[in-house]
Structure 1
């Protein structure tokens, strides 16, 4: 079956424009009613594509919509299942665009958005089979994969109802991500450490995704409550930093040392649309400080996101995909983003953090106070957040790393 001539783009269930093209050549145009209501220059879908009458035809279109799709082997498997080429974002969105990150849906012309909770109930055995079969999918008849989420790890997107799990087919909004431990995991205990790190962040007062560890048959998995879904299951909009900066997903790690850091670009790009630029900068600094403290070597541009309100306000999204990778695996040294021109986690100090934030326009005293508060609060909270079996050392190591950073040095990876 050939791909449709265009795909309708919906935001929060409302039509906002059309996507056209094939493979790497995509174009997007807001519809006239959307331009009239929101006004040119307003932020609706993405910071990289403000509302305007003229059609978007540059790399920002492919990078944004491709960023809604998974990466690596997961993407290749889905492409093979649906008889499209792996780079063909348009073809993949034709079948996977019904439920994406944020409040966006990309649908063929004959398909309308479904009610947020119009999901098909699943039995316990069906849920277990779906999780155990990853990275492929062994699904009951009629259960098609119509949802998409970025990232390289295999995961199942499900909707949690009052009486159990449901399959978010036909455009229903998934509410949870179930991510089992990979069978060939390079970093042992990664998922339990992620659950602990996010629990620590919340205990230290940082907005963070809510998680739990559960077992599905033979697979242990982290279950993540989606922060881009409201209590009633409706969609809340967000985009990750690669989409906001019009970067391909393959460039999620900051490579060279550009004149202006990616963090600085985000700080400057988002500031005009925030309620308070200084408050946004402090929120961003808190997140970066916490990821340094726990030794997160996976804090790249797809693991930070922005929440985009219907009123155009931009806020930093809660922390997610946060884990102390450096403390579990010595080679995980990439900070993901350059911090005052330093990209390697073991060499970043409190002074790097302060200087980076000052380069965004935050005052030095505010930057230092913000950074120190995160280190103090997380060190204190570590004693009260029980670590999983074989990870108990983290409760002592995190306070030690905080002390080392507060003293002006770098943070060690062992006790």
Structure 2
């Protein structure tokens, strides 16, 4: 007798299709109405009336939906909270599918999405208590809504009022507005990750990269909040927008996020978008910014793309932080980069010519113009980092406890600015 499990997929109350697990083989069938008026969920799931069925070696359906789940420790904790085997991917999606990365809502049986707006206040003491339980329990433990957010870090989908710093948790089908992340739980080896990420994200905006609005609070534990760019307000209603990460775009499993983050694949991603030349330039700038800020952990799941009726558009950047400061003291230039630049895989071997050669490979413009842009970005990053630090320092004594930085956080920022950032920016002369 066949063992069959079925989940219905929706985007903003619209039925998209049915996800099915039959004896361990996954398949997806688009709803007829979605075939007529919708768009493909990914390049791996073309819009068609025929059922898409995984093969024995190539599992395009499972890979796509598996990318919606968190990774590593976060997945294990969520599986434990749900009482589900961590290897049961379909079971995890079934349990947590009401709120995932992007727009897709996955519901079982006769359930149907309801357009509502119910919120539950998240008291700061309660949030602090949940953070103290990490990594023994998931950050979502005790939340009124089951949710699945891709990535390796502990996260919580939240509704945040930036003017009042009020945090609410969404209930039922209510969409979240922000993603909240606490400091890395290994504070000895990865201290002050919240302020690190907030600072580098703000710096990215100053350097000209497209980034969402970001915030930080101390509850008293530090938490980082990033506005969800996969949400938009239309006629007073919060709409979910469908996005794909780099692995989903390239039809890769999440485990390939580091290995396959190559210049060649970035070029391929650019060619898949509506404005290939513009997108390649943005991806090149992302590569350069990661080098200048010592972000050695950037990978394919750190890139997202909006799926629209006529193609794909690169989304704002996220998960930008300095990882080099967590390596051996003063040895960051000897570390390997995730994405080799013109076959150069170690920071200290990268030169201005290296970056110019990558620009040529990615076809982002004339060498003379690119060199000028690179030197300008080096100046923007270094001056922006010093200016942003001064701004924080000047107002810190006047800040409330929610916003006041600790001496340790300031010390961490100085080590980032006058270590990896300063050394890398010297490449621009």
Normalised by the length of structure 2, the TM-score is: 0.82
Identify the residue that residue 400 of structure 2 maps to in structure 1. Answer: none
Gap change, CA 1:201 and 1:25, over 3 Å in 2: same
CA distance in 2 between counterparts of 1:63 and 1:102 reads: 15
Identify the residue that residue 315 of structure 1 maps to in structure 2. Answer: 313
Gap change, CA 1:158 and 1:238, over 3 Å in 2: same
Structure 1 SS opposite 2:388: coil
8 Å CA contact 1:120–1:169 kept in 2: the answer is yes
| 1:6-405 correspondence runs (5 A) | 6-21=6-21, 25-38=25-38, 44-58=40-54, 59-115=59-115, 117-135=117-135, 136-137=137-138, 143-160=143-160, 164-185=166-187, 186-217=189-220, 219-231=221-233, 233-254=238-259, 262-274=262-274, 276-309=275-308, 311-330=309-328, 333-365=335-367, 367-386=370-389, 388-390=409-411, 391-397=413-419, 400-405=422-427
Gap change, CA 1:23 and 1:345, over 3 Å in 2: farther
Cα distance, 1:97 vs. partner? 0.7
My pick for the range that moved more, 165-174 or 126-135, is 126-135
Cα distance, 1:67 vs. partner? 0.8
CA distance in 2 between counterparts of 1:165 and 1:4 reads: 39
CA distance in 2 between counterparts of 1:31 and 1:367 reads: 47
Cα distance, 1:72 vs. partner? 1.3
8 Å CA contact 1:245–1:266 kept in 2: the answer is no
Cα distance, 1:61 vs. partner? 1.4
CA distance in 1 between counterparts of 2:94 and 2:4 reads: 8
Normalised by the length of structure 1, the TM-score is: 0.84
> What per-residue deviation string (whole Å, max 9, x for no partner) do you get for residues 74-109 of structure 1?
211221222322122211111101111111111113
8 Å CA contact 1:131–1:216 kept in 2: the answer is no
CA distance in 2 between counterparts of 1:350 and 1:51 reads: 44
CA distance in 2 between counterparts of 1:24 and 1:189 reads: 42
> What per-residue deviation string (whole Å, max 9, x for no partner) do you get for residues 35-85 of structure 1?
2224xxxx5422332322332223221111111111112211221222322
Gaps of 5+ in 2: 393-408
> What per-residue deviation string (whole Å, max 9, x for no partner) do you get for residues 300-326 of structure 1?
1111222223x3342222221111111
CA distance in 2 between counterparts of 1:362 and 1:277 reads: 10
Equivalent residue pairs, number: 393
CA distance in 2 between counterparts of 1:327 and 1:300 reads: 18
My pick for the range that moved more, 261-270 or 72-81, is 261-270
CA distance in 2 between counterparts of 1:145 and 1:4 reads: 26
8 Å CA contact 2:270–2:280 kept in 1: the answer is no
> What per-residue deviation string (whole Å, max 9, x for no partner) do you get for residues 289-346 of structure 1?
101110101101111222223x334222222111111134237734322332334344
CA distance in 2 between counterparts of 1:355 and 1:54 reads: 45
Structure 1 SS opposite 2:225: strand
CA distance in 1 between counterparts of 2:140 and 2:422 reads: 47
Structure 2 SS opposite 1:308: strand
CA distance in 2 between counterparts of 1:7 and 1:178 reads: 27
RMSD of aligned residue pairs (Cα, Å): 2.9
Hey, which of these two has a bigger chunk of helix by percent?
Answer: 2
Cα distance, 1:285 vs. partner? 0.8
Cα distance, 1:398 vs. partner? 6.2
